[in-house]
A = this chain, B = another copy of it.
Amino acid sequence: MNANYCPLDYTMNLIGTKWKPIVLFHLLEGAERSGVLQKKVPGISNKMFTQTVRELEKDGLISRKIYPVVPPKVEYALTARGKSLEAILKSLDQWGIEDKKAF
């Protein structure tokens, strides 16, 4: 069964979903408030947004900071581990730009 495991699989299990890369990508510019961040992700439902940031937090790729104010305020930011994905995220984005030109 296990003929040729490759770490690529490990990476994809962390970020290889529909929404995770997009959320991470937008956080490259800096911390964002929850609602603002969500609006930057076209088409995501509230449920999927919550689910996505929860998993990213659990995996230590982003941090969640809660401000005890009214109305509630929550900010998300990349952790060091999350920032280490910067090159990959930008490559993915760049490839998309180049590929669209060619095809």
Contact A99-B87, Cβ < 8 Å, known A12-B18, A18-B12, A40-B3: no
- A interface residues with partner B (beta carbon < 8 Å): 1-12, 16-18, 21-22, 25-26, 39-43, 60, 81, 84-85, 87-89, 91-100, 102-103
A-B contact pairs, 8 of them (CB 8 A): A4-B40, A4-B42, A5-B42, A11-B99, A12-B16, A81-B99, A84-B95, A84-B98
Closest chain-B Cβ to A86's Cβ sits at a distance in Å of 11
Candidates B26, B39, B60, B91; contact of A88 at CB < 8 Å: B91
**Is B100 in contact with A95, judged by CB distance below 8 angstroms?**
no
What chain B residues lie within 8 Å of A87 (beta carbons)?
Answer: 91
- In the complex, A87→B8 CA distance in Å? 12
**Is A6 in contact with B18, judged by CB distance below 8 angstroms?**
no
